[in-house]
Structure 1
Amino acid sequence: MRILWTFVGGLGHLAPLLPLARAAQAQGHEVAVAGSGGLVPRIEEAGFRAYATSPRPHHDGAPAVRDLTPLEATDAEAAEIEFAQNFGDRGARRMAAELPGVIEDFRPDLVVRDETDLGTTIAAELLGVPVATHLVLASGLLIRPDLVGPKLDVVRAEHGLAPDPGLTRLTSGPVLSDFPPSFRSPCSPLPQQPVHYRSAAAPTRTRARAGRRRVYATLGTIFNKQSGDLFERLLAGLGEVEADVVVTVGRELDPAQLGPQPPHVRVERFVPQADVLRVIDLVVSHGGSGSLMAALAHRVPSVLLPLGADQPHNALRAEELGVASTLDAATATPDEIGDRVREVLADAAMGERCLGVADELRALPDVGSAVSVLEAFAGTDWTAHR
């Protein structure tokens, strides 16, 4: 079977698709990935044929200058408006235009899209290719008829398709998720029950939570460059905490720009997140789905400073579940950051709730079960060809 994976956006949209794509490839299926031009090298490094759906500089991770413009307060409503413009309009229009050529060239039996890639469903509908959806928004709440429906219907009309005000075409095939089922907001139901699976082996911790504590801080791979002076405030606050601290700024930024730090604070461009999460006690992050879910998989609580996209919604849901504490990224002072980190480190009950979410993930079937769902959806007994 030939499977085309598609995504719109940055690495946070590509990365969740890769474990399942690798598993499908390991089962003998031919795999290609289509998405942001700047991530073509990442796709090829992962071992897949790549199709660029935007010019190369788009999300290319080229050396960047930090935007030190003071942050404005970001709430869920502002993030929703920006999301609708970026994904319901511009992103959908780009993918609807680019994907027909990709589909004609690769000739997939099945397309698997990231849930924010709304335009691929238009191309696939026009060409009669079945589509499955992979969730990338942990808490949901952004793919709503009232939010993106009107904008997406404009793009559909441009391609001669009837309106789809209920967004029923988006989930006409299976919906796959490697998030803990309990994390999705009850205010964001899906038309069908997602197929939940575990995309990686259950992680193990390599140290007991005793002795000197360890904290890991990250602002992801997109918002790290658009975070004003938040890194400076984070470092000032974490520098006053009795803990060993690792802060990653991203491959494109120079840690030296942040100046000298006390001996217990280390600033790096990149560290293997899976290795770090095995030995730390707390994550400080922007609340992106990838960062937050990775922390929970390792039973680690978070202090969240949402900067945009799905982050405010994720933070709201994490607080509802009692697995994280939130600060305002625009206004949090170093003292407030340090105090909140100390509070969460001392909160044994929050740690127990994180353990419960990790156990929920551990109980999910492995990635092979999701490959089987895709095979069944394509309508052929592919096990006979392995």
Structure 2
Amino acid sequence: MRILFTFIGGSGHLRPLFPFAHAAQAAGHTVAVAGSGSQQDAIASAGFTALATSEPRPPKADQEEDPLTAPDPQREERTMREGFAGNGARRHARVVRKIALDWKPDVIVRDEVDFGTAIAAESLGIPCATVIVLLAGGLIRPDTVAEPLDALRAEYGLSPDPDLAKLHGDLVIMPGPPSLRDPRYALPAGTFWCRPDHAIPQAAGSGTSSTSGAGRRPRVYFTLGTIDTFRELFDKVLTAARTIPIDLTVTVGPRLDPASFGPQPDNVRIERFIPQDEILPTCDLVIAHGGSGTLIGALAHGLPSILFPLGADQPHNAERCVALGTARELDPMAFTPKDVADAILELTGEETGAPYHRAARAAQAEINALPGPNDALAMIERLVSSPGSHLIARDH
């Protein structure tokens, strides 16, 4: 079987596809991944045929900092409407349609924000599965994207879809626990809920974390992913680490030099990048902006979080985690080093942190109980071998 995986945007849209692409390749299927020209090296490094849908963007210079601006829900909705559902969808509908005609996939698997691929697949009659990347939901709504998508659908001779019922395609795969989805933005009946990757063994005992031990300091990991470089946020957390008894590991991304932060005390380690699978098993607490990748990684390891959402789906994810009791949220524009120090002490304290750790371990147990990527692959295969049979997929 030939399976084409597609995404639009950056690594946050690409990486959720990898577990399913690896499962497909391991099962003997022919796999290609189509998306941003800037992500071609990442695709090839993961072992897949890379097909560019755009020219790579010029890289930002090392040491270049991003301006810190307040979260703006209207700005994010405008980006979703005009960028992803507008210009981006129109470009991908055209480019992916051409790729599909040349490469001839049996089935397409797209990231949920890749609207253009959904329209291209429907216009060609190719089965299409959708992988959710906005875990809590909230940004993709009929009032946000239906109008520009219906205009594009008309260009391809497709009927209107004002309720976005056809947008989801033939199968929806949610790589995360049902509790993480905001019930206001429910996914379609028949959604296949699965683990984002392999299950993480749940720690025994009733301590505040899976790695806590008598006589050692709490271990805290702080990251803003591989894209954002808000130095003032790093500076605040580093300042906090000098005032409380913790071991802090920070990853600052490829554009900032760890040495530029100056000498650090023995309890602080700064790196450009550390694989999540390497760092998260050693941690008691994660500090992040609420991006889906780091967030689901923390929950898969049973770890609570301190979140200061900056944009995109991060405010929705943070709101949901606070509601579940797995996280504290801080205002990225207003929090002080003392605020983050107090939050760290609260979430790592034996008594004050216990409710957060119990909630995070409950999410971990929910994740571990879900089927894995191989099971999702079986559902994808059925789109080709038994069209329509995906409709019997049960909610987990």
Q: Same fold (TM over 0.5)?
A: yes
User: CA distance change for structure 1 residues 240 and 66 in 2, over 3 Å: closer, same or farther?
Assistant: farther
C-alpha distance in 2, partners of 1:177/1:159? Answer: 28
**Residue matched to 2:65:** 67
CA apart distance, 1:309: 0.5
Q: Take 2:231 and 2:154, find their aligned partners in 1: how far apart are those partners?
A: 39
1:171 is paired with a residue whose SS is coil
SS at match of 1:51: strand
1:363 aligns to 2:369 (yes or no): yes
Match of 1:229, SS? helix
Matched, 1:220 2:225: yes
- Counterpart of 2:139 (choices 139, 142, 153) is 142
Aligned partner of 1:115 among 101, 112, 116: 112
Task: Name which of 164, 168, 171 aligns with 1:171.
Answer: 168
Q: CA deviation at 1:276?
A: 0.9
Return 5+ residue gaps in structure 2 as ranges. Answer: 204-209, 388-396
CA contact (8 A) 1:157 1:163 kept: yes
Match of 2:96 in 1: 99
Aligned to 1:384: none
Inter-CA distance 201–64: structure 2 relative to 1 (3 Å threshold): same
Tell me, what secondary structure is at the counterpart of 1:15?
helix
Flag structure 1 segments of 5+ consecutive residues without an equivalent: 382-386
Task: Give the direction of change, closer, same or farther, for the CA distance of 1:367–1:333 in structure 2 (3 Å limit).
Answer: same
Tell me which moved more, 75-84 or 245-254: 75-84
Q: Distance in 2 between matches of 1:68 and 1:51?
A: 29
2:236 is aligned with 1:207: no
CA displacement, residues 213-243 of structure 1 (integer Å, 9 cap, x when unaligned): 1000000122x23x36222222222332210
Structure 1-normalised TM-score?
0.92
Deviation at 1:258, TM superposition (A): 2.1
- Offset of 1:93 from its aligned partner? 1.8
Aligned to 2:304: 301
The answer on whether the counterparts of 1:132 and 1:173 sit within 8 Å (CA) in structure 2 is yes
Match of residue 3 from structure 1 = 3
CA distance in 2, matches of 1:358, 1:331: 31
Which residue type is aligned with residue 50 of structure 2?
A
Secondary structure at 1:260's aligned position in 2?
A: coil
Change (3 A) 1:65 1:94: farther
Separation in structure 2 between the aligned mates of residue 209 and residue 316 of structure 1, nearest angstrom: 30
CA deviation profile, 1:157-195 (whole Å, cap 9, x unmatched): 344433321112211301011201111000001232310
For residues 184-209 of structure 1, what are the alpha-carbon distances to aligned partners after superposition, in whole Å with 9 as ceiling and x for unaligned?
A: 00000123231012242222468344
- Matches of residues 1-386 of structure 1 in structure 2 within 5 Å? 1-57=1-57, 63-69=61-67, 71-204=68-201, 207-210=211-214, 211-222=216-227, 224-225=228-229, 227=230, 229-346=232-349, 347-379=353-385
State the AA in 2 paired with 1:253.
Answer: L
- Contact preservation (8 Å) 1:76, 1:313: no
Runs of 4+ in 1 over 4 A off after TM superposition: none
Contact 1:296–1:357 (CA under 8 A) maintained in structure 2 = yes
Change (3 A) 1:96 1:75: same
Distance of 2:156 and 2:242 partners within structure 1: 55
Cα deviation digits, residues 134-154 of structure 1 (max 9, x gap): 111110111111111112223
Task: Give per-residue Cα distances to partners, 1:324-357, cap 9 Å, x unaligned.
Answer: 0001112211121111121111211110111000
Which letter maps to 1:214? R
Question: Secondary structure at 1:97's aligned position in 2?
Answer: helix
| Residue pair 2:211, 2:284 contacting (<8 A) in 1 also | no
State how far apart, in whole Å, the 2-side matches of 1:366 and 1:229 are.
Answer: 39
Q: Is contact 2:254–2:272 with CA below 8 Å preserved after alignment?
A: yes
Give the aligned CA root-mean-square deviation in angstroms.
Answer: 1.8
Q: Aligned pair in 2 of structure 1 residues 38, 335: CA closer, same or farther (>3 Å)?
A: same
Cα offset for 1:67? 2.8
Q: Distance in 1 between matches of 2:241 and 2:332?
A: 15
Residue by residue over 1:54-94, the C-alpha shift from the partner in whole angstroms, topping out at 9 and shown as x without a partner, is: 11227xx665443353x232144443333323312232122
Task: Between 228-237 and 362-371, report the one with greater CA deviation.
Answer: 228-237
Q: Distance in 1 between matches of 2:293 and 2:184?
A: 21
1:121-146 deviation digits (Å, cap 9, x = unpaired): 11112222111111111101111111
Q: Secondary structure at the match of 2:184?
A: coil
| Counterpart secondary structure, 1:168 | coil
Point out the more displaced range, 17-26 or 162-171: 162-171
What is the total number of aligned residue pairs between the two structures?
A: 376
- For the 8 Å contact 1:145–1:165, the answer to whether it is kept is yes
**8 Å contact kept, 1:237–1:335:** yes
Q: 1:125 to 1:64 in 2, by over 3 A?
A: farther
